[in-house]
Structure formats: structure tokens, C-alpha cells
Amino acid sequence: MPRRRFTAAAVDEKLGKDARCEFRVSGLNVSYGGVRALRDMTFTVRHGEAVALVGRNGAGKTSTLQGIMRFGGRATGSVVLESAAATVDLSRAKTYEVARAGVTLVPDSRRLFPRLEIGHILRLCAEEVVGRKAAAERVDWVLHLVPAVAPWLDRKRGELSGGQQQLVAIARGLAMRPRVLLLDEPSEGLSPVARQDVLEVVLNLKRATGMAMVVAEQNIDFALALADSIVGLVSGSPMWTKDAEVFRQDRTEIESVVAL
């Protein structure tokens, strides 16, 4: 697909607007100057599925998500969205083009604009992808999926707890109409109760929309509750990819990767 056609409408036309998509990442490498942060990451996520990337601090989880978005360091490798109708190759797309094609990152630490009201943030993100006219309808859809956010629309970031900010960050991602949702450490720094609230929202999202998800997580309970398959990362290299069911029986191997 030529560069000028990486718009939301052009990608819709090619893949099918509400088509079920498979998301394939292969041979993804990321470096920051001389630092090789990620080597040869490969995985596939189908519609209705989630893959979790687990590993300790510095293992390369964030680099994987940022590499997919072509954001931050230098990334090489293949990133592809595929429906029954067509394939869209995002390997050479720019960050805004990857986002418009339907791959959305919910970054770590939430990163909400401090000065804007939450409702304003959601509208702006929706407008970016679906345009002004359709933005209000899009925000309604988001609030239908994450109703907890509705009472906070006229608040700003500083008036929300960490768990509430995480739910807003997810809602902001949804406003961008993702086909694939990338979640970077959604449970980071949250109390057990707030973590459970976030998990329930994400699980409901997975069930209700079937959108493919990639979640970077150090919390094993969160990863196993959400994911269908798990990639274990050590020092920038994927060590194994396994069915999450394996670890619901025996956690030894997944615990050793997070504790290494």
C-alpha cells in the first residue's frame, strides 16, 4: 500500500471496515543509538485473542510495543495487519500511519495531558481518526464500553487516581478505533483493587469487541487472566512463546522469566 494511502478510510476500504484482523509481528528489532533493546521478536495475534509479553525490567517489553508503533528507537522487521480481504504492511509506516491503520498504544504511566479535561481528550483522539462529525458518536461508543469513565469527563488528570487514569488511558485508546490494542504495563503501580477494576474492563473489552490485544506485563496474575499466549522475554530476546494454559497449571517457567 503506497504511503499516501495509510489513512483510516483507505485501510478500512482495503481490509473491510469491521473485518476480523490478524496481527503479525516478525523479526522485529529495536535499537536506541548503540543499544540493542530487542532482537527478533515474532508473534501473531488473531481476532478475539491476546498475547502477553512478560519479562523483568529492561527485558524489551516497551521496546516491542514502541517498535510496532515505529516510535522511539530505530525499528526494523515486519508488522502486518491481515483480514480475509487483504493485507496491510505497516513495516515502513510512520507512527501516525500505524495509528490510523488501527494499531493503538496505551502507553505506560498513562500519559494523559494534564491541562485538558478528560472529555476533551477523548473527543480530540476520536476526531484524529474518524473526523469531527463522527467523533461524538465514537466517544459515546467508548463510554458504553468503559462506563466508569463517564462521570470524569469534566475532570483533569490531577483529579483522578492512578486506576482511574488507567481507565481513561484505555478509553482514549478506544477513541482511536483500534483493531489491535497495545497495552503497556496496564497494572503498573496500581493497588490490587484498582488492578482488578482495570482487568475487568480489559476482559470485557476483549469479549465485547474481539479486538486483538498485545499486553506488556510484569504482573503474572494479570497476564494469565487476559492472555491466550505468552511470550517470555529475557535481555531483549524472546525465549519462548507458549499457550497461557500451560502456566495456569504450573507457573515455574513464567515466574523464572519475570524474576530473572
Ligand X SMILES: Nc1ncnc2c1ncn2[C@@H]1O[C@H](COP(=O)(O)OP(=O)(O)OP(=O)(O)O)[C@@H](O)[C@H]1O
Chain residues binding ligand X by CB under 6 A are 32, 35, 37, 55, 57-63, 72, 216, 218, 236
Phi-psi label, residue 67: left if phi above 0, alpha if psi -120 to 50, beta otherwise: alpha
Please report how close the Cβ of residue 29 comes to ligand X at its closest, in angstroms.
12
Please report how close the Cβ of residue 26 comes to ligand X at its closest, in angstroms.
18
Q: Are strands 103-106 and 180-184 parallel, antiparallel or unpaired?
A: parallel
Please report how close the Cβ of residue 57 comes to ligand X at its closest, in angstroms.
3
Amino acid at 59: A
Nearer to ligand X, 234 or 246 (CB): 234
Please report how close the Cβ of residue 171 comes to ligand X at its closest, in angstroms.
23
Are residues 105 and 172 in contact, defined by beta-carbon separation less than 8 angstroms? Answer: no
Angle between helix 118-130 and helix 132-145 axes, rounded to 10 deg: 120
Q: Report the candidate in 153, 161, 166, 162 with the shortest Cα–Cα distance to residue 123.
A: 153
